[in-house]
Amino acid sequence: MLQIEHLCKSFGGVAAIDDVSLLFESGSLTAVIGPNGAGKTTFFNLISGGLRCDSGRILLNGEDIVGCSQSEIVRLGIARAFQVASVFASFTVEEALLAVTQAHHGRHAVLSRRFPLREHRGRARDVMEMLGLTRCAGTLSANLSHGDQKLLDIALALVLDPHVLLLDEPTAGMGPEERWEMIETVQRLWEREKMTLVFIEHDMDIVFKIARSIRVLCYGRVLAEGTPEEIRANPDVITAYLGTAEEGDA
């Protein structure tokens, strides 16, 4: 369970996150939406340790992780994939997954081994199969299509065996067909892994199709939270976002 309590973060006197309190139940699938400048990416940066909050608490299964390093947060069970895919350009898909898996399990000394440990190779292959990357296991990450780089970025987070997975616009930069293929992959991933999955998305058709619950941020504050049906009918959300939604990010 991920619980956010009275989280605040300001930049130059401007409140990017302003007294945000939210609860993400274990095994839930939640979309975070809102207009440009709403604070969505800042919110993810605070949870994943990329930024330090000014005040408030971030509780993972009851343990406050504020002040923990990004690597400590990963070890505790929170992983993240980014809006712009971050991959190992000079590694093949399988090599990148093996490197991350071995490093995560404290096997830095065996990163250069010609034959990785069997359990690590098995986990890498399992994740590749899950995300449809087996076909390009031997392809250099730099040579992947945009969509496959996004899948690899998710795979690199997934081999960390997270309890909570944060996806920052998993369909960004994709064409219509690719977008739906990606989000169907995300839904299958959630159904199989039973993890807590939180994603930022601007495509409302996608959000309303797969999210079980939705949190709406606006100017750094929680505007609304509820089921897709409740959010779709919320007049404040319609006024602030749904009627004027644009592509982009906060």
pLDDT exceeding 90 applies to what percent of the chain? 74
Cα 144 to chain centroid distance, Å, stands at 20
Average model confidence (pLDDT) across the chain: 89
Residue among 218, 175, 170 nearest 198 (CA): 170
Q: pLDDT digit string (tens) for 152-184?
A: 999 999 998 899 999 999 998 888 889 999 999
Q: What's residue 86's pLDDT?
A: 72
Q: Is residue 205 part of a domain?
A: yes
Q: pLDDT digit string (tens) for 50-101?
A: 999 999 999 999 999 999 999 999 999 999 998 776 778 889 999 999 988 8
Q: Is residue 124 part of a domain?
A: no
Q: Is residue 172 part of a domain?
A: yes
Q: What's residue 227's pLDDT?
A: 97
For the segment 28-33, the average pLDDT, to the nearest whole number, is 97
- Structural domain including 198 reads 2-87+144-242
Q: Is residue 106 part of a domain?
A: no
Q: What's residue 108's pLDDT?
A: 47
pLDDT over threshold 70, residue 105? no
Q: What's residue 106's pLDDT?
A: 63
Helices 118-131 and 146-158 pack at an angle, to 10 degrees, of 140
Q: What's residue 117's pLDDT?
A: 57
Q: pLDDT digit string (tens) for 114-126?
A: 545 566 688 889 9
Structural domain count, the chain? 1
Q: Is residue 248 part of a domain?
A: no
Q: 6-28: string of b/e by CB count within 10 Å (b at 16+)?
A: ebbbeeeeeebbbebebebeeeb
For the segment 180-206, the average pLDDT, to the nearest whole number, is 93
Q: Is 51 exposed, middle or buried (0-12, 13-18, 19+ CB in 10 A)?
A: middle
Q: Is residue 134 part of a domain?
A: no
The CA–CA distances, whole Å, from 68 to 13, 58, 60, 215 equal 24, 10, 12, 25
Q: Is the dihedral of CA 135, 187, 24, 238 positive or negative?
A: positive
Q: What's residue 119's pLDDT?
A: 67
pLDDT over threshold 90, residue 242? no
Q: Is residue 103 part of a domain?
A: no
Q: What's residue 240's pLDDT?
A: 87
pLDDT over threshold 70, residue 244? no
For the segment 201-219, the average pLDDT, to the nearest whole number, is 94
Q: Is residue 76 part of a domain?
A: yes
For the segment 105-117, the average pLDDT, to the nearest whole number, is 50
Q: What's residue 57's pLDDT?
A: 98
Q: What's residue 29's pLDDT?
A: 97
pLDDT over threshold 50, residue 113? no
The CATH number assigned to the domain holding 174 equals 3.40.50.300
pTM strictly above 0.75: yes
